[in-house]
Amino acid sequence: MPDTVKLFNKVAEHYDALNTFFSLGMDRLWRKRLSDQIRGAGRVLDIATGTGEVAIETVRNLKGCRVVGADPSARMLELAGKKISATGNSGRITLARCGAEHLPFKDGAFDAVTIAFGIRNTADPSKSLSEMNRVLRPGGRVGIMEFAIPRNKFFAPVYLFYFRNFLPFIGSLFGTGTEYKYLSESTSAFPQRESFIKLMADAGFRTGKPIELMMGIVIIYTGAKQMSSTDTAHQL
């Protein structure tokens, strides 16, 4: 696995434009769908926030919530900071420099946690899921969006060709071919669907039905932190 922080520091400059190009402009809708899954949350943590797209979409979509955007890449956070102030969201979004494996937040500090296209980049996805669970209050919701390989036997080969060849080629025109090759290789190798849901359950989440977007090239996994019997008694 490459040093993903270095990798994202390098792709940061063209990151938003290439995302919109490769997703045919659908990325904004995907992020809105993700924030729809945590409706009602007041305190939100967006991990692997990158240039802040999910954090900004979340404050647009969810009235009154506040978001902490966390990411280990200094360059991505710098761009996020500029975008957050340009969109007038500095009062509702704060940024923190940290990786998903060690979150510098108290137990139960958030009502919801999101992470888009980030869990695959962490050194230890299981540890990251446990950390997400720890910082959530009991019953708090999690939304995890990640790329996947579609299952449709006609669409899958076409998509794989696009993903393994076209994407790195276009990336190379911006000096980031190797990085986009990493995207396709890491997606193929990462646990998907049932395997990923099992990782979430092992980390202490009650999992929901995953939402497949664009014929399964993107999946939103949802869940909630299991409540202990003491938590349930306090609610009664």
Ligand X SMILES: C[S@@+](CC[C@H](N)C(=O)[O-])C[C@H]1O[C@@H](n2cnc3c(N)ncnc32)[C@H](O)[C@@H]1O
- Residues near ligand X, by CB under 6 A: 4-5, 8, 47-50, 53-54, 71-73, 76, 99-101, 116-118, 121-123
Report d(CA 39, CA 49) in Å as an integer.
18
Q: How far is the CB of 105 from ligand X (least distance, A)?
A: 13
Q: Which residue is nearest to ligand X (CB)?
A: 50
The minimum distance between CB 3 and ligand X, in angstroms, equals: 9
CB nearer to ligand X: give 81 or 139. 81
Specify the residue, 49 or 111, whose C-beta has the smaller distance to ligand X. Answer: 49
Nearer to ligand X, 72 or 210 (CB): 72
For residue 42, the minimal CB distance to ligand X (Å) is 21
CB nearer to ligand X: pick between 8 and 22: 8
The helix/strand count (H/E) of the chain reads as 10, 8
Q: Give Dmax over CA atoms of the chain in angstroms.
A: 59
Name every residue whose Cβ is closer than 8 Å to that of residue 58 and which is 6 or more positions away in sequence.
Answer: 35, 38, 44, 46, 65, 67, 114
| Gap between the Cα atoms of 193 and 56, Å rounded | 27
